[in-house]
Amino acid sequence: MRRRKRRRLIQEIPQASLPDMAFLLLIFFISATVFGVEHGLPLVLPSAKRSPRISVEPTEVFRIQARADGTVMAEDRVVQVAEIETLLRARNATRLARQQSELIVIVEIHPDAAYELMVSILDQIRAAGSRRVALRSLEE
Amino acid sequence: MRRGGRFRSTIRALDHIPTESMADIAFLLLIFYLTSAILRSETGLVVDLPRARNTLRQPREQIAHIWIDKDGRAMINDLYVEYEEVAPILAAKLRENPDLIVAVNTDRRTRYRYMQRALEELKKAETVRVSFTTVPIPSGP
């Protein structure tokens, strides 16, 4: 005598685990997603068409030079990169107290200097709050 | 209905948190993450970006990338390019979007001369907005 099967056929797709699966995928995507935020030091380049040439007085300029060997000079004396912010802030504060305009920072970089040095200098200039910056190449 | 001078509340308090819509919420969030996730980004060159503290966030949708590795090789749109080719490529991009920001992803060890050549090309293309891509240094306590 054969036993009768008691197993009943399920008529519908079980959906009880659907939220679990959705949450599992959700956690995966939350942890794996890269929203791609980019950081950078912005600079506005002069345009030949839009920017006319202007002449400035030497007293309005703060000159920074980056040499090929990595030494940095600010206003004709050797400085540490980390000092630039303080120096520039102090100079700008003095000018503002005399109701003079903000200094124009000219960064002169030797072609053989590392790019990292230029970024460090620009970082210091931004920290000092200066927005009038020009990049130049030091003569070899 | 008024009984004994007081109004009977007709709102019945639920004795459980409704979880029926949980799956819908989960799927909604899932769809959001699926659509907004960046599954393939530009590969570019392998560059060791310099670090900086005073960076700004750049709007990704307005950025065109240039990659310059430590040996001075330049890449745009996953293709190696000569420096002379940079200006025409960027000029075409700028015609499509005049507010374009050109992000220069340069290796920190690269000599400035290569950067200078790239900047000359950017000026030729009338690129005004440039961003030197950096790795942000988290501001400490």
> Would you tell me how many other CB atoms lie within 10 Å of the CB of residue A125?
23
B100 φ, ψ to 5°? -60, 135
Q: What angle do CA B61, B64, B65 make, to 5 degrees?
A: 125
pLDDT digits over B27-75, tens only?
888 888 888 776 655 566 678 888 888 888 877 778 888 999 989 999 9
Cβ-contact A64, B65 below 8 angstroms:
no
B20 φ, ψ to 5°? -65, -35
B24 φ, ψ to 5°? -65, -45
pLDDT at A29: 81
Q: Which CATH architecture group holds A58-137?
A: 2-Layer Sandwich (3.30)
For chain B, say whether A90 makes contact (Cβ under 8 Å): no
Residue B38 tokens, joined = 């960046």
For chain A, say whether B122 makes contact (Cβ under 8 Å): yes
For chain B, say whether A135 makes contact (Cβ under 8 Å): yes
Residue B132 tokens, joined = 């030197």
Q: Record the pTM.
A: 0.73
Cβ-contact B46, B85 below 8 angstroms:
no
Closest residue of B to A30, CA-based? B33
For chain B, say whether A96 makes contact (Cβ under 8 Å): no
The residues near B109 (Cβ < 8 Å, ≥ 6 apart) are: A114, A115, A116, B48, B70
For chain A, say whether B136 makes contact (Cβ under 8 Å): yes
pLDDT digits over A97-134, tens only?
988 888 999 999 999 999 999 999 999 999 999 888 98
Q: Name the B residues in 6-65 with CB < 8 Å from any A CB.
A: 22-23, 26-27, 29-30, 33-34, 36-38, 41, 50-58, 60, 63
Indicate the residue type of B133.
T
- Assess whether pLDDT exceeds 60 at residue A65: yes
Minimum mean pLDDT range among A44-48, B42-46, B103-107: B42-46
Distance CA B133, CA B44 (A): 13
Closest approach of A31 to chain B, Cα-based (Å): 10
Distance CA A94, CA A12 (A): 81
- Assess whether pLDDT exceeds 70 at residue A57: yes
Cβ-contact A73, A67 below 8 angstroms:
yes
In 3D space, the residue among A119, A103, A138 whose CA is nearest the CA of residue A43 turns out to be A119
Q: Name the B residues in 72-111 with CB < 8 Å from any A CB.
A: 101, 103, 106-111
Distance CA A92, CA B48 (A): 34
Indicate the residue type of A57.
E
pLDDT at B86: 92
Predicted ipTM beyond 0.85: no
